[in-house]
Structure 1
C-alpha cells in the first residue's frame, strides 16, 4: 500500500504547475492588458495613417499573429503524439524483466527529463540535416518547425515515460499474481489488465505536460520558426519597431496562450479529483 501511494504521488507530482490556476488570474491578466492598451492608445491619440497606434497595428496584423499561433498548436499536437508513443514504450521498458533493456530505458528517460529544453532544441535544430533524399532521388527540405517539433517531444517523452512507469508500479501486485494464475503471459497481463488501469491514472499528468509543451513552443522563434511570437515580432518591426509596442503585443500573446491553457487546467484539476477518489 505504501508503494502504491508513493508511485501514484510521483506520477501526479508534475501537475502542480496547473493546479494553482484560478479564474481570477485570467481576470487580472485581462485587466492589465486593457489598462496597458488604454494607456498606449491615449499616448497615440494623434497618430496618423503613416504612424498607426498599437491597437491599430495589432488589429492589422492579428490574422498574421493568429496564423503563427495555429503553428504553435500544430507543433504541440504533433510533439505530444510523438512523445506519447515513445514515452509509453520507454515506460514499459523501465519495468522490463531484462536488466539491459530496463537500464537503457531508465538512462534515456532520466537523460531527457533532466536536460534543458533549450539545449535539446539547439542540438536537434543543428544536428538534423537541412534536407533529406527521397527514394526517387529527389531532395526534400526539412522545415525548421518540424525539427523543433521533434526537439520538443524529447523532454516530454522522458516525463511521460516516468508517468507510465509510476502508473504501472502503482497497480497492486496481486493483480499480476492473479493474471499469472490464469496462465496469462507477462505481455498479455500488461496489455489486457495493467495498461488499461494505467490510462485514467496517467491522463491528468499527461494533460499537464501537454499544457507545458504548448507553453514551450514559442522557444522555436529563437531559431526563426514563424510561430505566434515570431510573427508578433515581425509585425512590430513592420509597424516601425516602436518600443511602446512591446508591452501591449506581448501581453496580447500572454492572454492568447492563457485563454488556450486555462480550460485545460480546469479539466486537469477535475480529472485529478475524480480519479483520486477511485484510486
Structure 2
C-alpha cells in the first residue's frame, strides 16, 4: 500500500467513525468557548447580549449561543466592530448572507480516555516573563494562535535546552470539568526526543489533579498528530470546523438558526463536521 493510499484510508476511517457518533446529543464540549466564558473563565468574558468573547490579546475565541438569532449576530458585529475578522471555531450553522468567510478548515476534537498522565521533572512553569520566548517558539513552530496574554488562561509548561525554550504545552479553554490542552509545540531542532509527549502528559497530570478531564483540538488533515494523540490515550469525539468571518460594515440581518449535522438548508452551505 502506498503512503498516499494509507493516508487516504486513515482519513476515510476517521470520517466513518465520526459519522457514527451521535449528532443530536448535547454535550458541554459542543460549545466549549461558551461553557468556558460562562464558567471558570467568566473573569475574561466581554459580553454583549448573549454573545461573549475573550479579550483580543488573550485568545480569539468567540462564544455564540447554540442557535444564534438576528440580535445575536448584531451584538457580535457591535462587539467586534465593522469590518473586523472574527474567529467562529466550532460554529455549525449558516452565516448571515452579508458575513464573508475568510478562513475555514476541518478540525477534530479529542478527549482523554486512557492517557498515562505524569509529571515531567525537567518541565518548568512558564509565566508572563516568559512570553517573549513563548511567542518566538510559536513563530518557529506555528502550533496555532498564541497571543501576548494567552498564558493567563491556565498552566503552561516548557522545557529548555542550554537556556533556550525548545518545547511547551499548556491550557486554553476551560469548560466546567474539562480543560483544553493547547499550544503543543517543539522546536524543529529538538524533535524526536519525545518532549511534546512528556509535556502533554504533564499538563494532563495537572488537569487530572484538579479532578478534570483533558481534551484538545487539531486540524483534521493533521493525521500524524491525531495518530499520536490517539496512541497516548485520547479518543476522537467529534468533527468540528475552524473558521473566521468578516463582520459587515453595515448592520447585519439575522441568520437562520444553527443546524445540526445532516440537516440541509437553502443558500450558503452550513459548516459541517467531518
Instruction: Report the TM-score, using the length of structure 1 for normalisation.
Output: 0.22
Mark the structure with the bigger radius of gyration: 1
